[in-house]
Amino acid sequence: AAGRCFASEIASEMWRTTLAIAVLGGVVGLATSRPILDMFQNKYPRYMGIMPIFVERDSSTFTASSLPSLQGKTALITGANIGIGLSTAKHLGRKGMRIILACRNAAKCQAAIDSLVKDGVPRELLVAADLDLSSLASTAAFAKEMLSKEKRIDALVLNAGVGPLPFQLTKDGIEAVFHTNHVGNFLLYKSLAPLIKSTAEEHGEARVVVLSSSAHYNANSVPLTTEEMNGGERDRGTHFKQCYMVSKLANLLFAKELAERTSSTNIFVNAAHPGLVASNFAVATVEETAELCKSIPLVGGVLAPVAKGVLGALRGGVMATGWTPDDGALTPVYLAASPEVTRDNIRGKFYVPIAQLNERTSKLARNAKLQKDFWAFSDRLVAEKGY
């Protein structure tokens, strides 16, 4: 019964949301005119820029080639070995920026460097570093190493993350998706803050880009207690539907509050939604979910192939209609390096493809009290864990 219930939750939710969006976008794009598409996005801001069909490119559309030289600057990109992270590294590296690739897997990180070199990024600009955001110890150790070795971080791109996963706790006792997608980022920034601040003071500015998503519109809320954070163990079906969405709302609230806290400095903090991207992230989510399903007692053997089949079909829809990784990376690249960010004093905003401002985030994302309460909870959480 538990196996059937869990499989049903996967099928109904994943098909009903992301894949439905992909199919709808394709049909609408083929059957309607540009004004209709624009009206649709205006009425439903969660779909703004979500797929290429919704974006009309022209001479004013941001491109990486329009960036000035970034020589002498350093970017730290988490999850830089695949997908959007890898493409972000490519765009910035081609402009002369030194890139620290923070990856969970050293071998994959080295393969990413080889790939970037083939794509025209000088090898001497690329630095591999080990970071597991699902471990507080790994995150703290990584930050300590960066503080001892690096002289500047001009752009911190918090890109790494995981998709929806069955409920499980990390070694630190934190729900896995929330830990990887939010708590790790929160601790990483706090630990690197002295270096980012000194970069802004000595070199005129620094950037922080937090990868969020339009999935934040569907989040019920964010946790403000440990019990709420780990409550998915009591209702695993609801957890699977909500965990990723909650983490993306968490990313947006974190970015907005950090932007307020740095508003009197030259640190510019913003959030980016890359859109539905045809990347290896989708493949990884399929494989990770299937592997986790295997570990569920009694029903794991049945759940694993079901999850893999359903999510595999979902991935196929995204791969057919979504943004390429290079295009999906353009919005975080814009926020990380475009002179317009400092010129126009862009802070605490939510940008969608390609480098478009979406001012109509969800009501929860605009809740100032929730924003501050959530920061306070995140701060208490890492402090209680000894960091």
Domain locations along the chain: 66-282+322-385
DSSP 71-82: TT-EEEEETTTS
pLDDT tens, N- to C-terminus, the chain (387 residues): 555 555 555 555 555 555 566 565 555 554 456 677 777 788 889 999 999 988 888 888 999 999 999 999 999 999 999 999 999 999 999 999 999 999 999 999 999 999 999 999 999 999 999 999 999 999 999 999 999 999 999 999 999 999 999 999 999 999 999 999 999 999 999 999 999 999 999 999 999 999 999 999 999 999 999 999 998 778 887 898 899 999 999 999 999 999 999 999 999 999 999 999 986 554 444 454 445 455 455 545 655 566 555 555 555 555 567 899 999 999 999 999 999 999 999 999 999 999 999 999 999 999 999 999 999 999 999 999 999
DSSP 53: G
Q: Half-sphere exposure (CA, 13 Å, Cβ side) for 234?
A: 5
Q: 66-282+322-385, which class in CATH?
A: alpha beta
Cis peptide before 21 (omega within 30 of 0): no
DSSP 237-298: HHHHHHHHHHHHHHHHHHHHHHHHHTTTTTEEEEEE---SB-SHHHHHHHHHHHHHHHTSTT
Catalytic residue (one of 47, 244, 334, 351): 244
Q: What DSSP element (H or E) covers 69?
A: none
Nearest Cα neighbor of 130 from 148, 143, 115 is 143
Q: How high is the pLDDT of residue 383?
A: 98
Give the tens place of pLDDT for each residue, 320-353: 678 999 999 999 999 999 999 999 999 999 999 9
Residue 351 a catalytic site member: no
Backbone angles phi, psi at 209, to 5 degrees: -120, 120
